[in-house]
Amino acid sequence: MTEKVWLKKYPKEIPHEVDIPEIPVHQFLIDAYHEVPDKVAIHFLGRELTYRELYESVVKFANYLQSLGVEKGDRVAIMLPNCPQAVIAYYGTMYAGGIVVQTNPLYTERELQYQMVDSGAKVIVGLDILYPRITKVLSETAIENVIVTGIKDYLPFPKNLVYPFIQKKQYGFSVKVEHSGMNHLFTEIMRSAPVKKIEIPMNFEEDLALLQYTGGTTGFPKGVMLTHKNLIANSKMCQAWMYKCVDGEESILGILPFFHVYGMTTVLILAVIGKNKMILMPKFDVEDTLKTIDKQKPTLFPGAPTMYIALLNHPDIDKYNLSSIKACLSGSAPLPVEIQEKFEEVTGGRIVEGYGLTETSPVTHANFIWDDRLIGSVGVPWPNTEAVILKAGENTILPPGEVGEIAVKGPQVMKGYWNREEDTEMTFADGWFLTGDLGYMDENGYFFVVDRKKDMIIAGGFNIYPREVEEILYEHEAIQECVVAGIPDPYRGETVKAYIVLKEGYSVTEHELNDYCRKSLAAYKVPRFYEFRDELPKTAVGKILRRTLIEEEKKKMTS
């Protein structure tokens, strides 16, 4: 047991240890239904669902999954933006005993196929506009049933009638799916499935609630196994951290996508635990967000720095009343000091930076919201959480001020990587989870991140793994060598740049490479810049020096 020096900084309102109820995640929804059935659970583009309506929809969905043969431990993929169907499918899958596989709607066929094959998902729930993409990968996967829904399904009248025309204009096509064979319509499920209670014994500590895919520099994305305990623990820690918030009285703005574990914990689970309302938006649009805050008056707004930057830079921000916001937890990328100060000035609320990883459900550290904050620091460990700085390769604990690898222990730390025992073993040392991030702790227990040991790029809140982009580039016939790096970007935090050496006698333009990458990569992973070189910097053993290229970019920006 390490000395938790940071506990001396804790305000009296935050407990050093939070109680973690030994129940599955969906039990919180059942409790909310029994205690506040008529309270609004979801607001979505003008439509509202009470906790009673949400609970009944979840039970219907779970019963339908069972009728399709879904058993305890089976994986159900959810490929949806933030909408009521995403909430229903999430809790419904768990209620049926299944394991949720959150799937990014931006995935290309290649990325989708990889995740479906790796997870072994039996069912996928997707948007109608994604249906053509889903059908193209089915033959290579274990998927037996496809549940299709559309944004219009949960829009109020008359928006539900108008939306299909807007969608056709926006995407250039419309999709009509029949409820037959392996295809199932979400609306039909809600009409026909019974509201029948299901009893499935759950081991809160061992049973998986979620497979959340992340990646690394050494290969393709890995399925992070998060248990019911992991998710509940992190949500209860978050609840304790935000001690001025009152259960049943808060409204949480849900723009962070649920397919990102940060949005899932701070909105999808936290709202239900506190019996609060979640205000869902299917995508981040600056003007829509300002209008929503002005009209719906959310009190909590978890987000990414790029969101806050975009809002503050809107020319008409003064026309909107943002004073309802009490607190914001910012994650996914460093929060610039000037943005923190300006956002607090505009809203009157508080915004602090947190730190964590997919493997930790995700938060391990944060600055105090209403108490002492240390600018430039990611804060102190959360309740129930231990953190140290380890000397690389030796796993000895370093004293304050010395840089090493940040390592953590706590009930929010994953069970391991799906079907990857070797990777799991490499990520733990003497019970510590190795984050791959380099940093130091000061004498008061505040942690600072100085670099990422892993070469992950965080652009606009999205995690991008260079190796995955490089794999695609290396498949191009003209490319001899390439390396992908994250370079500083004033808006996205970082952006993707590819450095390329062409084969002799070959030529290719930036435009051609851009088109080529877009066929296999989600838009946010596609390099924004390409630089052609005669050679790339390397070590004596031939390893490309990615860090050297990043340093060159930083010098260019300061010169």
DSSP 138: G
Q: Where would I find the H helices in 348-478?
A: 421-427, 466-474
Domain chopping of the chain, boundaries: 27-315+337-343, 460-558
Q: Which is it for the CA torsion 521, 525, 530, 533, positive or negative?
A: negative
Q: What is the pLDDT of residue 290?
A: 98
Nearest to 82 by CA among 351, 292, 362: 292
pLDDT in tens, 466-522: 878 888 998 899 998 889 999 988 888 899 999 999 988 999 999 999 999 999 999
Average pLDDT taken over every residue of the chain: 92
- pLDDT at 215 > cutoff 80: no
Q: What is the pLDDT of residue 241?
A: 97
Q: Which is it for the CA torsion 264, 301, 279, 289, positive or negative?
A: negative
- pLDDT at 169 > cutoff 80: no
219 pLDDT tier (thresholds 50, 70, 90): low
Q: What is the pLDDT of residue 533?
A: 95
Class assignment of domain 460-558? alpha beta
Architecture of domain 27-315+337-343: 3-Layer(aba) Sandwich (3.40)
pLDDT in tens, 95-104: 999 999 999 9
**Long-range own/partner contacts, residues 165-170 (CB < 8 A, 24 or more apart):** 167/129
| 324 token code pair | 């309802």
Among 225-234, 281-290, 348-357, 388-397, the least confident range: 388-397
Please compute Rg for the chain using Cα positions.
23
Q: Which is it for the CA torsion 48, 50, 53, 54, positive or negative?
A: positive
- pLDDT at 537 > cutoff 80: yes
Percentage with pLDDT > 90 across the chain: 76
Q: What is the pLDDT of residue 541?
A: 47
Query: Can you tell me the distance from the alpha carbon of 15 to that of 243, in angstroms, rounded to the nearest whole number?
Result: 10
The Cα angle at residue 413 between residues 259 and 80, in degrees rounded to 5: 10
| 191 token code pair | 């009409």
3-class SS at 129? helix
- pLDDT at 134 > cutoff 50: yes
Average confidence (pLDDT) over 180-198 = 96
Q: What is the pLDDT of residue 539?
A: 58
pLDDT in tens, 263-317: 999 999 999 999 999 999 999 999 999 999 999 999 999 998 888 988 998 999 9
Cis peptide before 362 (omega within 30 of 0): yes
Encoded amino acid at 93, one letter? T
Strand 251-254 and strand 277-280: pairing?
Answer: parallel
Q: What is the pLDDT of residue 427?
A: 94
